[in-house]
Structure 1
Amino acid sequence: MDLPLLKEGSSLVFDRADPYAVSGYVNQHVGPHGIRLARHGAPAASLSHRKFGTLDLCRISYGGSVRVTSPALETLYHLQVLLKGHCLWRGRGREHHFAPGELLLINPDDPVDLTYSEDCEKFIVKLPESLLDTACTENRWQRPSEGIRFSADRYSLREAGGLLSLLGLICEEAEAEGGPPLAHEHYSRIVAGKLLALLQNNVRRELPNGPAGTFERIAQFIEENLKQDIAPETLAELVRVSPRSLYALFERHAGTTPKHYIRQKKLERIRTCLSDPAVPVRNVTEVALDYGFLHLGRFSESYKSAFGELPSDTLKRRG
């Protein structure tokens, strides 16, 4: 795969160099590891590297068959995109031959055991644990107490949505001269959030109390503000969900839309007022206007449709 990921000369650090020199640089900037080369041949390694915000971007080829091992990456995640050749991964009693277009996601406590083919070339993104934690906080997702862990080792670019386009954009930004550091950091957080949203992991992407708790907060807010004009946008902002997610919550828990739910709750409150002798009511019009029903004819129709009688009949029956 000929992808636009760190191909410019400005990122080139080593070109046809000693693999052990390249490995030493990787240990310093990308992650702890050791290499073991084949006994024959004279491989020439190449490496491009850019620091970008909290990320490290690296494109590497060892120029020969090499085995890369590490007990663990400690506090780092590695997203590796295979560009050329093949790579044998071993872990958890299993192994897989990665082909171009496949992604490998390595957690901080995962042992690393990779064997590169002679023509293997990879693009690697190094992400610190703190960056993934920040992405959870900013999105109000629940970070597991044991730490964030991706549950699958391999993915295809097709599964990763627009990740490739995002990485290509970041590489262009990284290789451009200058650029505001705050923008670079913003891009870094976008990458972390996209990985958590797209790839299987143990992060719960719900509000702390889950969907049921979220709807309870919305229902309580509505009950406490029935005399106000409550817009769906207000409810979405209250629990920090998108309008689409808000409508999905109402469909799941109430079987209706936010607008219809609010109107029904207003009608129920009015019926209580009209029925309860302890509630001072002068007339139906006053109560209807209190709860935002400005068109009295439509209000009476909605009330009768909901309760089988006109609001004036309810008021008369309470005596």
Structure 2
Amino acid sequence: MTTLLSERSRIFEQADAHAVSEYVNQHVGSHCIRLPPRGRPQASIKHRTFSSLDLCRISYGARVQVTSPALETIYHLQILLSGHCRSSSRGEERIYTPGEILLINPDDPVDLTYSADCEKFIVKLPVRLLENACLDQHWLLPRQGIRFDSERRDLAGLDGFVQLLGLICHEAESCAEPEIQTLYERIVASKLLGLLASNVQRVCPEAESAGGFEAVRQFIEAHLHDEIGVEQLREVARVSERSLYLLFERHVGLSPRDYVRQRKLERVHALLQLPGARSVTEVALDHGFVHLGRFSETYRKRFGELPSHTWRRQRQGAARSG
């Protein structure tokens, strides 16, 4: 199989399983583990952050049960490299073996039991990455969010996908430029939407509707620093208010106000990751977020961390590279 993270990405080797679990909680997803009552299993983990993706290769060295209420803001793509995994979710139980893929949706409760000889590779993807990929393809974004089907999948049916992940691991370990990282993460999201069954309707909007929405979308992108009202958008689209809401529902599954707020949040998120980004307060106020406490909570729900954490990580990365 293609190399998915080398020794250069090693974080822990033959370490305490609870220490590895705590690292996973911080970087890959909140969870709880249950280990055998006897023995001291030796766990290992490799990890890299690549743009908004997290890449992780992990083994616990003992039979372990991993549980979590739901991942909320992220998808987990897991590839079983060795051993086996039993998944119990929503009354269904499945056994996964090497070469098979398990994809966990953000609202799925997690109850996974891994064998002692199990090693897995995990890709953590934020919700907004899949949503943006859906919109880039001009597909209809489901109102309840993108959900992948729970069917069994093996790597043999995913043409070139593992090779793509191997290339991404190599780029992550080679410290690729941010622009390259962003390009690759978009390719991963598009590949997943194209290869795996989901509730996304892969239909192209009618030409007239596409033109109307595209004009509104471009107006929003050009005025993210401004207050954008429904009346302004109605005038740009040249439709009634009711038709405007239907237009947004058809194309993005959101109300005009929710879509504008989402795009403002995504712009703030992108700016906070740039080298030399200004303070969180300045960037937030520039985009109309005057209630900073409410903004921070909305940001956390959207991206899985506080804006100050995004900004601090960028500063730490700049200091290391400098």
> Do the two structures share a fold, i.e. TM-score over 0.5?
yes
CA separation in 1, counterparts of 2:122 and 2:112? 14
- Consecutive unaligned residues of structure 1, counting only runs of 5 or more, are 215-319
CA apart distance, 1:140: 1.1
Query: Which residue does 1:185 correspond to in 2?
Result: 182
The amino acid of 1:195's aligned partner reads: L
Taking the TM superposition and a 5 Å limit, the aligned residue runs for 1:216-255 are none
Conserved? CA contact 1:81–1:104, under 8 Å: yes
Conserved? CA contact 2:79–2:99, under 8 Å: yes
Query: Which residue does 1:218 correspond to in 2?
Result: none
The amino acid of 2:93's aligned partner reads: E
Match of 2:117 among 113, 119, 138: 119
CA RMSD of aligned residues (A): 1.7
CA separation in 2, counterparts of 1:109 and 1:159? 26
CA apart distance, 1:203: 0.8
Conserved? CA contact 2:86–2:95, under 8 Å: yes
CA apart distance, 1:93: 1.2
The amino acid of 1:187's aligned partner reads: Y
CA apart distance, 1:92: 1.9
Matched, 1:72 2:70: yes
Conserved? CA contact 2:80–2:98, under 8 Å: yes
Query: Which residue does 2:3 correspond to in 1?
Result: 4
CA separation in 2, counterparts of 1:199 and 1:189? 16
CA apart distance, 1:153: 4.6
Conserved? CA contact 2:52–2:125, under 8 Å: yes
**Deviation digits for residues 187-222 of structure 1 (CA, Å, limit 9, x no counterpart):** 001000000000000111211249xx99xxxxxxxx
Matched, 1:47 2:37: no
TM-score (norm 1): 0.64
Large movers: runs of 4+ above 2 Å: none
**Deviation digits for residues 32-53 of structure 1 (CA, Å, limit 9, x no counterpart):** 1100001122110000000011
Conserved? CA contact 1:37–1:65, under 8 Å: yes
Conserved? CA contact 1:74–1:108, under 8 Å: yes
Aligned-partner SS, 1:192: helix
**Identity over the aligned pairs, expressed in percent?**
58
CA separation in 2, counterparts of 1:120 and 1:11? 19
**Deviation digits for residues 262-296 of structure 1 (CA, Å, limit 9, x no counterpart):** xxxxxxxxxxxxxxxxxxxxxxxxxxxxxxxxxxx
Query: Which residue does 1:36 correspond to in 2?
Result: 34
Matched, 1:203 2:200: yes
Conserved? CA contact 1:105–1:154, under 8 Å: no
Aligned-partner SS, 1:41: coil
Conserved? CA contact 2:2–2:163, under 8 Å: no
Conserved? CA contact 1:105–1:153, under 8 Å: no
**Deviation digits for residues 41-94 of structure 1 (CA, Å, limit 9, x no counterpart):** 211000000001111000000011100000000110000000001111111212
Query: Which residue does 1:60 correspond to in 2?
Result: 58
CA apart distance, 1:160: 1.7
**How many matched pairs?**
210
CA separation in 1, counterparts of 2:205 and 2:30? 36
- Consecutive unaligned residues of structure 2, counting only runs of 5 or more, are 211-322
The amino acid of 1:198's aligned partner reads: L
Query: Which residue does 1:231 correspond to in 2?
Result: none
CA separation in 1, counterparts of 2:104 and 2:82? 19
CA separation in 2, counterparts of 1:190 and 1:165? 13
